């Protein structure tokens, strides 16, 4: 808020530097929460933490740069990829056991002939199902945030979209 009309946002070295430092650590922490089953957390929590890092980046650097890091095409693909991973594993259990197992019965995968059924379940839960949930939650939250924050629609502001700062008014 510097009093100039139409510009309430400006660069701030401290905020940008801190954000640059924090975003990778937040994302690593999100992956730690998302993958693995030993600690607390899970796909939902990890996905939300990951989306929070994207929101922090966008708030600091502007919506155009944020969209450049997570393009709409990638976002749209990731939206459904997570759900496909989860539902696909369930379907794979039926297909690979030739209809003998139930949907989402991970122990029916042929992987359980190499390791024990319990370990197959643990592997599927920690590395496929939770990651699928996390991908969907992360991209959906980012998508909702970008859709709500985007003000560059309409003909009036169309030319302004090229400039990063004016979009934020």
Applying CB under 8 A, the residues found at the interface with another protein are: 37-40, 42-44, 72-73, 76, 79-80, 82-84, 86-87, 90-91, 102-104, 106, 116, 118-119, 121-122, 125-126, 129-130, 132-133, 136-137, 139-141, 143-144, 147-148, 150, 153
Which residue, 87 or 96, is less far from another protein as judged by CB?
87
Which residue, 19 or 132, is less far from another protein as judged by CB?
132
Other beta carbons within 10 Å of 91: 12
Where residue 62 falls (left for φ over 0; alpha for ψ -120 to 50; beta otherwise) is left
Closest approach, Cβ 76 to another protein, in A, equals 7
Following DSSP, what letter does each residue of 60-84 receive, concatenated?
HH-HHHHHHHS-HHHHHHHHHHHHH
Structure tokens of 130? Answer: 């939770």
Which residue, 114 or 148, is less far from another protein as judged by CB?
148
């Amino acid at each position: 808020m510097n009093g100039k009309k139409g510009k309430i946002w400006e660069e701030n070295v401290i905020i940008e530097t801190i954000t640059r430092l924090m975003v990778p650590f937040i994302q690593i922490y999100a992956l730690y929460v998302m993958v693995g089953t030993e600690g607390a957390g899970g796909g939902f929590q990890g996905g939300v933490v990951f989306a929070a890092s994207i929101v922090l980046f966008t708030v600091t650097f502007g919506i155009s740069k944020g969209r450049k890091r997570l393009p709409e095409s990638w976002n749209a693909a990731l939206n459904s990829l997570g759900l496909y991973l989860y539902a696909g594993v369930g379907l794979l259990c039926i297909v690979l056991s030739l209809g003998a197992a139930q949907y989402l019965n991970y122990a029916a995968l042929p992987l359980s002939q190499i390791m024990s059924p319990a370990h197959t379940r643990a592997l599927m839960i920690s590395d496929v199902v939770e990651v699928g949930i996390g991908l969907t939650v992360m991209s959906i939250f980012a998508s909702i945030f970008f859709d709500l924050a985007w003000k560059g629609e309409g003909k009036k502001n169309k030319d302004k979209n090229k400039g990063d700062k004016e979009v934020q008014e």
